[in-house]
Amino acid sequence: MAGFDQLLQRFQRNISVLGRSQSTFNCYSRHVAAMAMHFGCLPTELDPEQVQDYLYLLQSRSKTPSQTYFKHTVYGLRFLLKCEGLDYSFLHLPSIKHEKKLPVVLSKEEMWQLLTKATLLKHKILLGLMYGCGLRCIEVRNIRLRDLDFDRKMLHIVQSKGKKDRYVPLSDHIIRGLQKYIGAERPIDWLFHGQPSGHQGRAGGDFDGRYSGRGINWVIKAVAKAAGIRKSISAHTLRHTYATHLLEDGLDIITLKELLGHERIETTMEYLHISQLDRNRAFSPLDTLFEQCAHASK
């Protein structure tokens, strides 16, 4: 398609200059390319009727249309037109409603089962670090040996989300495990390494030797299945569990915000909705009903 390669090159340049990630470009470009192929013209040449027809088509493809695919199509087109300096208000692109979903959280008993059911030392340490330090998937993948400070019992998380560094405490339990793991595996640079490219398998690594995000999620789901955990969990579930358990153990919300690396306190406060705090612990009226009526009937 004439001009599409040049359009994508400008799009990638503008996204980079604005500080957005390569993954953002990959996502947006994939969706605008699909739109261009559908109509056989540049996305910048579409009229309002074509855009509305395409968005309707996305919603009509299945009984349960992917809100994520629809959302990224809208965001990608809007961002592309903005980068090209074009007005897009006449297209009447829909506003995307953000779903308010509370995260899945493991109980302490479930978390213990997850840690004890991992058979490989590497997997035990991986799960222990993610839960014990509240790490994002990309953060645990990016850990280098030099980021571990056993003397100060701290982990240095380098240039994470928002291009910020932070320190989180290391448990004595995870330090002993890490020392055993490092002595056995002898990693050179990355703490968790995967298989070379081309031999990834289910839980392989990226071309630079790091453990892949897909591999980490595969480990979590496989161990959760072995532990008999029925909840739908992912790498981020361990981070949610970390935050919830710390609040329930008495940590204040401001300190938790810093440990999680959140930009806004409102993001951290969402965990207050799922934490069972002693001062405001939710309960079922069935509990008091049975207590009161069972005693009265005796």
Any catalytic annotation for residue 186? Answer: no
Q: Alpha-carbon distance 122 to 150, whole Å?
A: 18
Catalytic annotation, pick one of 20, 71, 78, 161: 161
Catalytic annotation, pick one of 72, 123, 239, 245: 239
Any catalytic annotation for residue 136? Answer: yes
Q: Are 204 and 212 in contact (CB under 8 A)?
A: yes
- Helical H segments across the chain, by residue range: 4-17, 22-39, 48-60, 67-83, 108-117, 121-133, 137-141, 172-185, 213-226, 235-248, 253-260, 265-269, 285-296
Catalytic annotation, pick one of 78, 193, 214, 236: 236
Catalytic annotation, pick one of 210, 245, 257, 262: 262
Q: List CB contacts of 149: < 8 A, sequence separation 6 or more.
A: 155, 156, 170
Any catalytic annotation for residue 239? Answer: yes
Backbone angles phi, psi at 289, to 5 degrees: -60, -50
Any catalytic annotation for residue 262? Answer: yes
CB atoms within 10 A of CB 191: 25
Q: Are 114 and 125 in contact (CB under 8 A)?
A: no
Q: Dmax over Cα atoms in the chain, in whole Å?
A: 86
Q: Buried b / exposed e across 236-267, counting CB within 10 Å, b at 16+?
A: bbbbbbbbbbbbbeeeeeeebbebbbbeeeee
Any catalytic annotation for residue 271? Answer: yes
**Which residue, among 204, 202, 182, has the nearest Cα to 193 in the 3D structure?**
204
Catalytic annotation, pick one of 31, 72, 123, 136: 136
Q: Are 90 and 48 in contact (CB under 8 A)?
A: yes
By annotation, the residues acting in catalysis are 136, 161, 236, 239, 262, 271
